[in-house]
Structure formats: C-alpha cells, structure tokens
Chain A
Amino acid sequence: MTHAATIERALLAVFAVGMVAVPWLVPALFNQFWVSVIAEILIWSLFAASVNLLFGYVGLLSFGQALYFGFGMYGVAIGIADFGLPFWPAFALGILAAMAMALVTGIFAVRLTWHYFAIITVVFSLIFYFLALTNKWLTGGDDGINFTLPPTFQLGAWQLSFTDATFQYLFILATVAFCFWLMHRLIQSPLGKALLAVGDNDVRAALIGLNVYRLRLIAFVLAGFLAGVAGALFAFFGRYASASYMFYHVSGEAVVWTIVGGAGSLLGPIVGTSIFIFVREVVSSQWEHHELIVGLVAILVVIFAPKGLVGLWRDWLAALTEREPHAKDRLQVEPTSKS
C-alpha cells in the first residue's frame, strides 16, 4: 500500500470514530442543535451520492434526483399516515417507490445523454413536482403530510424510536454508512467496473459487448435507491413529507455539492455537502445572502480543482508522499500521451 493510501485510511478511521462519538461529544463541546445538523448533513450526503453515482461514475448528469428523494419521503409519509404502516414497512415502501419511479423514468431518460439527459431528468421531476403540488388530497401539497413516528424497534413495553435524539442520529449514521459501504463494494465489483467503462467511453464499451443502455438503466435505478433511502430517512427525521423537496432546486444543490466535493470519488459528496450545510447554518443567521458564498466556492472549485476538493487533496497527498517516483513518471509519460 502506498503512503497516501495509509494516510487516507488512518484519516477515515478517525473520521468514523468521530462520527460515532458525535451524540456525546458535540453536545458537550457545543450544543444539541449541531447533532441534528450533522444528521441532516449525513442524509443530504447520501442524496448527493446518488448524483455522484450517475455523474461521477457513469457520466450522466441528472438534475432530477429530487424526484426520487421526494418519492422516498412520500412513501414513508403516506405509508404511515394513510396506511398506518409500522416503521420498517414504511421505510421499505419509500425506498421501493423511489426505485420504481427511477425505473419508469429511467427507461426513457437513459436513452439520452449529456444535456438531453439533464433536461429530461429536470422535466420528469418538474412534472411530478407540480402533480404533487396540485393533488393535495394525496400529498398535502406545499403543507405536506405530517405524521406521528412509529417506534423503530419494539419489544413488549420497551421501544426505541427517533424521539430519542441519540438513537435517531446513530440510526441515520448507520444507514448512511451502510449505503456508502454498498456503493464502495459496487464500485469494486464487476458491475461497477462496467459502469466506469460506460462512463469513460460508451462507444468502446458497446464494442467490447457491454449493453450500455441496460447498464445506464441499472445505474439510474441504483441512484434512485440511494436518493430514496435519503428521502425516507429525511421523512423520519422531519416527521413529514412535502412536495417542496421534489423541486429541481433541491436536485441542483446536490449537483453542486457533488462537483465541489469531488465527482467520481466515493467521499466527495460528503465533503461537499458538509461544507455547504455548515456554511449555511453558520452564515445564514448573520447574512441573508449566504448563497453567494455557495456560488463563489462552486466557481472557484470548478476552475481551480476540476476533480473537486477530494481530487485536490489526493493530488496534493500524492505529490507530498511520492514526490520522487511520481516526478520521474511524469517526464516519461507526458510528451507521448499528448500526441
């Protein structure tokens, strides 16, 4: 293993321990409010991961992921409020609704690429946004649906639910971590390598015998899964669902978080999402134009760090730890590779 990889592993371990310690550490050092901010960051990071899976790995820029986030939310809210489902079946309903929607829209969307793909994903999310807004009997429109949380685990009189803030945080952390682990496994797997190949060069991928359309559709449904889990968690976290989370502005934010953090790296979305939500929470109380900071940071990153902050960090780490052999490589490679 290279030095850079060792350093990254060590940092990741520290980060993991820190994340688990949040419900005890953060109230002691700051206050309880920041625990819920971090829980929210985790959920939105998972949402950004769905953009990352499509854009960073398969090369499809979706501006419509909020649709599947919204279906995850409404699956949970309608499941609980209308059907009286317990926690887990409602969770499953949210995720399945998001994946089913991703499958149905994906069948059309992944026939297209680049800006056409981006546009059709926006169009789909707008259609369902307005449908959700106008069909108040089902969705509650802008007001949304409020519901009473069912317990997550129940054994006789003993029960655990999101009303316990520490449990709520740890449940969200565990679910998000599990999804990121799944994505990590996916990227290392045969299917993941095929998705990367499609993202790198779709014509070549078809010529070696990969079914590009089907691979894109699979990626789209998997991204729907990630967005759906995020949406379902957010519904439990907020105890409600609202059409406003299906608006394409929400999708666009996730695209910015992903690109700034580093599209095509597993943890990029976490970095980008953390920075922007922290900025929002810290600055928005002092200054109403905090979105200017978002824009400025996004522009700077796109110009000076096209691989995002994670890419910047990796290049810097590689240069620092492997300066000698790396420099030699460069001298050999660059003149020929440009021809």
Chain B
Amino acid sequence: MSEPVLHIEGLTKRFGGLSAVDNLSYTLAGGRLHAIIGPNGAGKTTLFNLVSGLLAPDAGRIFFCGRKISGLKPHEISRLGIKRTLQIKSVFPRLSAAENLWITAQAENRFLHPFRAAAQDRSIAEKVDRTLERVGLAHLAHRQAGTLSYGDVALLEIGMALISEPRLLLLDEPTCGMSPAETERAVENIRAVARTIDIVIIEHDMEVVFEIAADITVMAQGAILASGSPQEIAADERVREAYLGRPEDEDYVEEAAHA
C-alpha cells in the first residue's frame, strides 16, 4: 500500500490549560472527500493550523505523503502542495480578483521579477482566465478584491485554492455565509475538484457535509470521537449526543433531522 496522504501521530496543542488538540491520531488514505465536523471549540481549525504550519504542535508528528511536515514553515508546507482556505474569508483586498489568482499561481516561484509588468506572462494569464471562468468570476476579473461581495470573495478563495494545483486541499467552512445559490456553486466546484485532489473540509452546514463527503470524522474536545461513512455517523449515538446536541437543544435536533 502506498503512503497515506496525511498521517498524524499523537498530535497535541495546548493553549494555557486547554488542550485544543489532545493526542490526536488520524490517517487520511486519500482518494475520498473527507469532512471533519464537531461542535464549536472541538479543535477543528486548530488541527488545520497545525497541519498548515501556522501553529507548532506541543507534541506529535504530521506526515504528508510519508514526509514529515511538522516543524516546517507555512510557506514551505504550502510549497509541498498542501493548500488551505481560512475560516474568515481572506483574500488580498488591494489586488484585483485576477491578481489574487495570479499571485497565488506565482507564489512558489523563487524568483519574482522585480521590474517586468506582472500582466506579461501569457501562460499564467491563461490559467488565471480559465480559473476565473471556472468559479464564475470572469466578469469581476479587474475589480479590487476588497470591493467584492462576501459570496464572491468565497468563490475567489476557492479559485485561489484551485489555481495553486494542490495535492491536498484543506477547506475551513468554505460555504459559511454564502447564499443558497452561492453554496450550490461552491459545492459543485468542490465536487469537481475532489475528483483529482484530496480534500479535507471543515463544515457546519450539515446539508453540505452529508451531500458531498464520502467519509466523516467527528471531533469533540480535541479528539476524534467517531469516523465513518455518512450513514454510520448519522446513526452513531455518541455523535448525536456530543455533537448534534442533547434533546432539549432544539436547533441541533432540527438540523440533525434535516440531515
């Protein structure tokens, strides 16, 4: 068997007395769209921050395709092919939509030309055009990203993830704050990408999770509570209790019923 895409051993991250991620081990075989769900504060985003190098673990190791990546800097991990989006949508507001994609495609170049006009490289310009087309932002190509609507920013983020040609894509609540139409478009995009790229997605929208994920991992209090197919997770009593809420918590029950 080939190396798993992502392999995590005994990962721990403490913030003061709180263990945000507590001795967590996890293996992502690859080839399937994987979702991580869990209540607020379960440590999902912290896990992503550890994998992408924004935080250094207190203990444990992370391997990407057999290569140890814990301890590397964020840009080094990114250059190995792990890309992620942030929970709070963040693009580069002073750059145009096209330039955001453009700089993402260029970021791995060791040499960034200091004086030639950025718009001159044809092959990258074509890639940028194709990506804009794909996420449906072609008509906004030259708008400053800071003036885009929230949904368009989220689409642009997905475009940035696409154009970087990742091997593993970590999406942190990609559809958070989107309108139903935008969510649909985003889900469509994520599905299309998942055919060629391994994706791990953190998502609160249960409808989205059960629609697209082949595997679901449930986190609670920094550890993995359960892992399995959507059917298994939906049927799991512990998950219902820990994540979907106690019976009196009506919102969650409603959401669970919906799922």
Interface residues of A (CB under 8 A from B): 182, 185-186, 188-194, 196-197, 199-201, 203-212, 264, 329, 332-333, 336-337, 339
State A206–B183 Cα separation when bound (angstroms). Answer: 27
State A232–B240 Cα separation when bound (angstroms). Answer: 72
State A188–B121 Cα separation when bound (angstroms). Answer: 13
User: Are A201 and B92 in contact, CB atoms less than 8 angstroms apart?
Assistant: yes
B79: A residues at CB distance < 8 A: 209
B103: A residues at CB distance < 8 A: 190, 193-194, 197, 208, 210
Q: Interface on chain A toward B: helix, strand, loop, or mixed SS?
A: helix
Which of B53, B107, B112, B147 contacts A208 (CB under 8 A)? Answer: B107
User: Are B78 and A191 in contact, CB atoms less than 8 angstroms apart?
Assistant: no
B258: A residues at CB distance < 8 A: none
Q: Which of B136-164 contact A (CB under 8 A)?
A: 147-151, 160, 164
State A227–B104 Cα separation when bound (angstroms). Answer: 31
State A206–B104 Cα separation when bound (angstroms). Answer: 10
B86 within 8 Å of A by Cβ?
yes
User: Are A204 and B115 in contact, CB atoms less than 8 angstroms apart?
Assistant: no
B106 within 8 Å of A by Cβ?
yes
Number of A-B contacts (CB under 8 A): 113
* 4 further interface pairs, Cβ-Cβ under 8 Å (given A203-B86, A206-B73, A329-B147): A182-B115, A185-B114, A194-B106, A207-B54
Known: A190-B106, A197-B103. A206 touches B92 (CB 8 A): no
Binary A-proximity of B29-58 (CB < 8 A = 1, otherwise 0): 000000000000000000000001110000
Binary A-proximity of B158-199 (CB < 8 A = 1, otherwise 0): 001000100000000000010000000000000000000000
Q: List 27 A-B contacts (CB under 8 A).
A: A185-B115, A185-B117, A188-B119, A189-B112, A190-B103, A190-B106, A190-B109, A190-B121, A194-B107, A196-B92, A196-B95, A197-B103, A199-B94, A200-B95, A201-B90, A201-B92, A203-B74, A204-B91, A207-B86, A208-B160, A209-B75, A209-B104, A210-B103, A264-B94, A333-B149, A337-B147, A339-B177
Which of A192, A193, A212, A264 contacts B75 (CB under 8 A)? Answer: A212
B13: A residues at CB distance < 8 A: none
State A189–B74 Cα separation when bound (angstroms). Answer: 24
B contacts with A, residue count (CB < 8 A): 42
User: Are A339 and B118 in contact, CB atoms less than 8 angstroms apart?
Assistant: no
* CB closest residue in chain B, given A200: B92
User: Are A207 and B74 in contact, CB atoms less than 8 angstroms apart?
Assistant: yes
Which of B52, B99, B102, B115 contacts A207 (CB under 8 A)? Answer: B52
User: Are B150 and A336 in contact, CB atoms less than 8 angstroms apart?
Assistant: yes
User: Are A210 and B107 in contact, CB atoms less than 8 angstroms apart?
Assistant: yes
B106: A residues at CB distance < 8 A: 190, 193-194
User: Are B94 and A203 in contact, CB atoms less than 8 angstroms apart?
Assistant: no
A192: B residues at CB distance < 8 A: 114, 118
User: Are A190 and B112 in contact, CB atoms less than 8 angstroms apart?
Assistant: yes
User: Are B84 and A207 in contact, CB atoms less than 8 angstroms apart?
Assistant: yes
* CB closest residue in chain B, given A204: B90
B61 within 8 Å of A by Cβ?
no
Known: A193-B102, A204-B91, A206-B73. A337 touches B107 (CB 8 A): no
State A190–B113 Cα separation when bound (angstroms). Answer: 6
Instruction: Report the minimum CB–CB distance from A192 to chain B (whole Å).
Output: 7
A191: B residues at CB distance < 8 A: 112-114
User: Are B164 and A208 in contact, CB atoms less than 8 angstroms apart?
Assistant: yes
Known: A208-B103, A333-B147, A337-B148. A189 touches B75 (CB 8 A): no
Instruction: Report the minimum CB–CB distance from B142 to chain A (whole Å).
Output: 11
* CB closest residue in chain A, given B82: A207
State A200–B74 Cα separation when bound (angstroms). Answer: 17
State A207–B116 Cα separation when bound (angstroms). Answer: 25
Candidate in B83, B108, B118, B160 with the most chain A CB atoms within 10 angstroms: B118
Instruction: Report the minimum CB–CB distance from A219 to chain B (whole Å).
Output: 11
State A284–B199 Cα separation when bound (angstroms). Answer: 66
B118: A residues at CB distance < 8 A: 188-190, 192-193
A201: B residues at CB distance < 8 A: 90-93
User: Are B78 and A332 in contact, CB atoms less than 8 angstroms apart?
Assistant: no
State A200–B94 Cα separation when bound (angstroms). Answer: 7
Known: A190-B118, A337-B150. A197 touches B83 (CB 8 A): no
State A207–B149 Cα separation when bound (angstroms). Answer: 22
Known: A336-B149, A337-B147. A206 touches B94 (CB 8 A): no
